Every structure is written in structure tokens, then in C-alpha cells.
């Protein structure tokens, strides 16, 4: 995450991930749908906080970054259980769309604040220049580009770390 300062590394984009804020229709009926990200502070947020630090959800408001600092209802050290918790009407989650694609398609989870979501982010591979033509590395990169999006979705469904 963040810029890579080692000039000896080659960086290759693998997967672009879109993020969404979602909860169940029942949760939104009970608590109300937020019209602005700041309204999420009044909601039960289910977050990832591997270090125990207060989680921050990034948004964009009028073209300017907006970072929401939350006091979560539930904080996990891994995102995998978040969709299951949300499906049990426990609160709102901010996750990669791939991890809830089936639930979004079925209507089990409903997205909000789509106009405030930041640009998609990328997952990269970084490797040394001397290995950039290795058949094994090229095969691995090809595999990751093909399989990583599906894996990320399956991982969340299985509740795996």
C-alpha cells in the first residue's frame, strides 16, 4: 500500500477493486439510509481494524477527500466475516464489491453513498528487475491477474482469513 521507493523493483497492476458501503434492507429500514457519509457516525459500523486503531473510511465529497473516523460497533482483524455480520442485520460494512457481489445481485445487501465513494484501488505485484523475464514469474503474474478477483470473492464467502 502506498508508493514504492525501491527503484530496483518493477511494479505491475494486478486487480482493480471497487469499494461499497452496504447493509441489509432490514437494517436500512430500521436505521434509515444515510444521505451523506458523516451520517454513518450514528450507525452501527462493522469494520476492519487489524492494529486496534480507530478505523477510517475514505470518501470523496465535492471532489475533496473526506476521511471518516469511526467508533465501530464491531471491529475485526480481518474483513472476511464482515459480510456475514452485515447479513445478520448487525450493521454497515465498507468492503470490496467483489466480496459481496452475490449479495448485491440478490438484493440481500443494498449499497449506499455511491456518489461519495473514492476511486477504485489497485493491488500490485512488485518484483526485482533481474527476475522480470522468468517463466515462473510470468506464469504467476498471469495466474494472479486471472484468479485473484474470483479468489477475493470466494475468500470472503468462506469466512477465511
pLDDT in tens, 59-82: 999 999 999 998 999 999 888 899
Of 98, 116, 134, the domain-final residue: 116
Q: Which three cell numbers stand for residue 125?
A: 505485484
Total tally of structural domains belonging to the chain: 2
Same domain membership, residue 80 and residue 142: no
Could you tell me if 26 and 89 lie in one domain? Answer: yes
Any domain includes 47: yes
Structural domain span for residue 35: 18-116
Locate cell 457519509: which residue?
37
The pTM assigned to this predicted structure is 0.78
Task: Using the 3D structure, point to which of 82, 98, 116 is the last residue of a domain.
Answer: 116
| 4 found inside a domain | no
Q: Does 112 share its domain with 152?
A: no
**Cβ distance 48 to 82 under 8 Å?**
yes
**Cell 480481518 identifies what position?**
78
- The candidate with the shortest Cα–Cα distance to 22, out of 117, 111, 96, is 111
Q: What is the mean pLDDT of the chain?
A: 87
Amino acid at each position: 500500500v502506498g508508493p514504492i521507493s525501491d527503484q530496483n523493483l518493477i511494479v505491475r497492476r494486478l486487480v482493480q477493486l471497487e469499494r461499497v458501503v452496504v447493509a441489509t434492507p432490514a437494517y436500512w429500514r430500521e436505521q434509515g439510509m444515510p444521505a451523506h457519509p458523516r451520517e454513518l457516525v450514528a450507525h452501527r459500523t462493522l469494520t476492519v481494524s487489524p492494529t486496534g486503531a480507530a478505523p477510517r473510511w475514505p470518501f470523496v465529497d465535492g471532489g475533496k477527500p473526506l476521511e471518516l473516523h469511526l467508533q465501530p460497533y464491531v471491529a475485526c482483524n480481518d474483513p472476511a466475516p464482515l459480510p456475514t455480520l452485515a447479513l445478520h442485520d448487525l450493521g454497515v460494512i465498507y468492503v470490496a464489491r467483489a466480496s459481496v457481489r452475490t449479495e448485491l445481485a440478490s438484493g440481500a445487501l443494498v449499497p449506499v453513498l455511491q456518489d461519495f465513494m473514492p476511486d477504485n484501488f489497485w493491488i500490485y505485484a512488485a518484483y526485482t528487475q533481474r527476475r522480470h523475464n522468468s517463466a515462473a514469474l510470468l506464469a504467476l503474474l498471469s495466474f494472479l491477474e486471472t484468479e485473484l478477483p474470483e479468489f477475493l470473492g470466494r475468500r470472503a464467502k468462506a469466512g477465511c482469513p
